[in-house]
Amino acid sequence: MTTAIEGAELTKIGPGTAMGQLMRQYWLPALLSSELERDGPPTRLMLLGERLIAFRDSEGRVGVMDHRCPHRCASLFLGRNEEGGLRCIYHGWKYDVAGNCVDMPSVPSDQDFKHKMKAKAYRVVERAGLVWVYMGASKEGASEQAPPLPGFEILDMPPGEIRVSLIQRDCNWLQALEGEIDTAHFGFLHGGHVKPEDVPEDAPFFNTIANRAPQFHVADAPWGTQYAGYRGATPGSTYWRFANFLFPCWSQAPNGEFGSHMHARGWVPLDDGHTMFVFIWWSRAKAAQSLPQPAYKDGRPIGGTGRGNIKMLPNTTDWLGRWRMAMNEGNDWGIDREAQRGNTIYSGIDGIHLQDQAICESMGPITDHDFEHLAPSDQMITRTRRRLLMAARALAEKGTLPPGVEDPDIYRGARSGYFVRADDGSSWQQVYARTLDESVHPPGADAQAAE
């Protein structure tokens, strides 16, 4: 079981914390590129417990820096974004996207020391419609240079075929991630009201409700951890659901056909009690976001299994005012007790994402790990916690870089999804490797693998 001390190690992500230091070894997606316009207003941004601002300058370059002007600590959110930099409205000091002070008009020219002044700015790159931020490493022995971006297959796809969405979740990053790598809940939270005999036997939904207590294989992987949930399917075959945790805060869910399901799902810590879900996926994949809603044999949609039409609140300029769902704890996540009582929706909450959101947020900002009692179905959660703890401690105590920092290509071996395969005596790892080899891959992937 996870102790209170271990729980704090895993969940605290501010500067100087073990997990915060681990997170700072990686590039993290912070916002959509479309959220910033040239010479437009700065955007408040919370990331890893730090209050930052982001802006796009006159030439289209993006800057991300501490919101405080290093002169008198007035917020640069109020600044004027003009002529290649952000100017503090207090005394007119101006900073470029790298944090360099380029103008100090309130100081006599013979006393000007702008060449010695620098705002606390972080390295930035844009990829797949996202602004990625590298928040550096202050601990001795950690990387001095920014590492490459993670080598997710989806990032190698043509830009026009990549889709991205953001949704904020009001809970700690770890419990949000763990809701994703827990496959045993599907037959209850999402499909507890459905009888197997009412669903076509060739539909993926059938297998998850025909046997609501799957067996598991769980193991460490080069990119983090991996599980294979498995159930008997047709005689002589097995229904597999593979999924992954990828350092430092990514998951791959088994909610699509394995052969095409290239995606990455980030659970990016904003602060200890808020997370930004960043979903990057291939638009041509056969997956939940593109396939029709699950249906009964007679063609009626299965209640509570909607994928789209998520209602969002308007973005505000608050630190945590971006990409918030309209259904939240304040309105009980829209739970319909009549639908729950009548068993038309097991949870009473309409929509798979909203069901997951409600469950994770209902635990409170940070789960009390002393109160929980984990079961054999939680093997992926316990192994992932241990993998994270060991990596964070190795970085803190020995300066050992965690997986994926220096070897981003390890992520290209990770894929998730479901499939049915005939039983031939192969191990689960062999089943995975063979199915991955037969799957769709990004253009040029074979050439990359050969290098």
Burial class (CB in 10 A: 0-12, 13-18, 19+), 159: exposed
Per-residue pLDDT, 114? 85
Cα distances (angstroms) measured from residue 319 to each of 16, 52, 270, 277, 294: 21, 9, 9, 16, 37
Q: What is the pLDDT of residues 330-362, one digit of tens each?
A: 999 999 999 999 999 999 999 999 999 999 999
pLDDT score recorded for residue 137: 54
pLDDT of residue 143: 45
Distance between CA atoms of 121 and 35, rounded to whole angstroms?
Answer: 19
CATH number where 69 lies: 2.102.10.10
Angle 30-327-418 from CA coordinates, rounded to 5°: 70
CB 98 within 8 A of CB 146: no
Portion of the chain with pLDDT greater than 90, in percent? 90
Pair (103, 234) in one structural domain = no
pLDDT at 145: 81
* Same structural domain, 350 and 386: yes
125 plus 208 within the same structural domain = no
Residue 147 in this model has a pLDDT that exceeds 90: yes
pLDDT (mean) for 300-307: 91
What is the three-class DSSP state of 19? helix
pLDDT band at 144 (very low <50, low <70, confident <90, very high): low
* 19 within some domain: no
Confidence band of 79 (pLDDT split at 50, 70, 90): very high
Predicted confidence (pLDDT) per residue in 372-410, tens digit: 999 999 999 999 999 999 999 999 999 999 999 999 999
**Looking at the structure, do residues 340 and 430 belong to the same domain, yes or no?**
yes
Same domain assignment for residues 176 and 316: yes
What is the pLDDT, as a whole number, of residue 331?
98
pLDDT of residue 447: 41
pLDDT at 136: 87
The predicted model gives 291-310 an average pLDDT of: 90
* Signed CA dihedral, 228, 233, 235, 237: sign only: negative
My answer on whether 81 and 228 are in the same domain is: no
φ, ψ dihedrals at 276, nearest 5°: -105, 120
How far from 237 is each of 191, 215, 427, CA to CA, in Å? 23, 15, 13
166, 169, 376 from 255: Cα distances, Å? 18, 20, 22
Model pTM score: 0.95
Q: Which helix (H) or strand (E) holds 179?
A: helix 173-180
Q: Of 70, 103, 135, which residue sits at a domain end?
A: 135
144 within a domain of the structure (yes/no):
no
pLDDT digits (tens, 9 = 90+) for 18-61: 999 999 999 999 999 999 999 999 999 999 999 999 999 999 99
pLDDT of residue 306: 87
**Tens of pLDDT, residues 254-292:** 999 999 999 999 999 999 999 999 999 999 999 998 999
Looking at the structure, tell me whether residues 267 and 360 fall in a common domain: yes
User: Does residue 123 sit in the same domain as residue 206?
Assistant: no
Of 77, 106, 135, which residue sits at a domain end? Answer: 135
Query: Does residue 25 form part of some domain?
Result: no
**2 inside domain:** no
From 105, 135, 165, the end of a domain falls on 135
> Is residue 145, in this structure, part of any structural domain at all?
no
Give the distance from CA 263 to its chain's centroid.
Answer: 11
Mean of pLDDT values over 185-207: 94
89 within some domain: yes
Question: In this structure, are 256 and 382 located in the same domain?
Answer: yes
Residue 430 within a domain = yes
Looking at the structure, do residues 170 and 317 belong to the same domain, yes or no?
Answer: yes
Share of the chain above pLDDT 70, in %: 96
Mean pLDDT computed over 311-319: 97
Co-location of 66 and 207 in the same domain: no
Confidence of residue 140 (pLDDT cuts 50, 70, 90): very low
Q: How many domains, the chain?
A: 2
Point out which residues pair with 280 in neighbouring strands.
164, 264
Residues 317 and 214 in one domain: yes
| 12 lies in some domain | no
Expressed as residue numbers, the domain containing 346 is 155-450
The whole-angstrom separation of Cα 187 and Cα 210 is 9
